[in-house]
Amino acid sequence: MRKTGNHHLCALLCALVLGLCFTACEEDSDYPAYYIHGYWKIISSEYHEYVNGELYDEGYENAPSILGSTVGLRFDKDGCYYAWVDVAGFTFSEYCGTYSYSNGELEMTSETEDGVEETTVTKVEELTNRKLIIVYTEEYTENGDKYRSVERITLHRVQKELARR
């Protein structure tokens, strides 16, 4: 009788260990904050605009492309971020400002043309080794109407060797 009890315990432990292995090796699981570092290509953008709680406008756009170019963001380990464009294999980057990422929020600070520091906070909906989805929400009131705009941007990781050509 004791032998059967040990057999069930062993089977249960094996199932738990195998379950943990498959969970730990899952491809699209969440990754640590340092996974935001690197080049990200914009794949798509969708938006929804509301006026007084009612859907006013919505839309979906594939990645912006001018003459076959690729557009994206680069997040460096030193806390700086850049906008980049790849045209015919040549990548041009422009410094945008600084960023920080924690608790599912990406905070990006840049300077406007007038020299005023501006901070944008986006929610990180998904961050994996291949995919980053950020959601930006803006709310304001004008002439007594309440406006709410939500933009969801999907980015895919680009290999650094390809993006730095």
Task: Output the average pLDDT for the chain.
Answer: 78
125-157: b (≥16 Cβ within 10 Å) or e: eebbeeebbbebeeeeeeeeeeebebbbbbbbb
Q: Are residues 38 and 95 in the same domain?
A: yes
Residues 90 and 14 in one domain: no
- Structural domain of residue 25, as residue ranges? 1-29
> Do 157 and 97 fall into the same domain?
yes
Pair 71, 125 in one domain = yes
> Quick one: 39 and 58 in the same domain?
yes
35 and 103, same domain (yes or no): yes
Higher pLDDT, 28 or 135: 135
41 versus 161: the higher-pLDDT residue is 41
pTM above 0.75, yes or no: no
pLDDT of amino acid 93: 77
Residues 76 and 150 in one domain: yes
pLDDT for residue 1 = 41
Residue 90: predicted pLDDT: 75
pLDDT of residue 17: 32
Q: CA of 113: how far to CAs of 26, 98, 109, 110, 117, in Å? A: 44, 16, 13, 10, 10
- 33-37, 105-109, 115-119: which range is least confident on average? 33-37
4 C-beta neighbours (distance < 10 Å), count:
8
Q: Do residues 127 and 88 both lie within one domain?
A: yes
> Do 127 and 150 share a domain, yes or no?
yes
- d(Cα 130, Cα 133) in Å, to the nearest integer? 10
What is the per-residue pLDDT across 23-79, written as a single tens digit (0 to 9) for each? 233 333 345 677 899 999 999 999 999 999 999 999 988 876 666 678 889 999 999
Q: Are residue 18 and residue 40 in the same domain, yes or no? A: no
pLDDT of residue 3: 43
In this structure, of 16-20, 55-59, 101-105, the range with the lowest mean pLDDT score is 16-20
Residues in the chain: 165
Residue 15 parent element (H or E): helix 2-24
Q: Does position 12 have pLDDT exceeding 50, yes or no?
A: no
The helix, strand and coil proportions of the chain, stated in percent and rounded to the nearest 5, come to: 20, 55, 25
| Number of separate domains in the chain | 2
Check which CATH number belongs to the domain holding 82 and give it. Answer: 2.40.128.280
| Cα separation, 19 vs 12, whole angstroms | 10
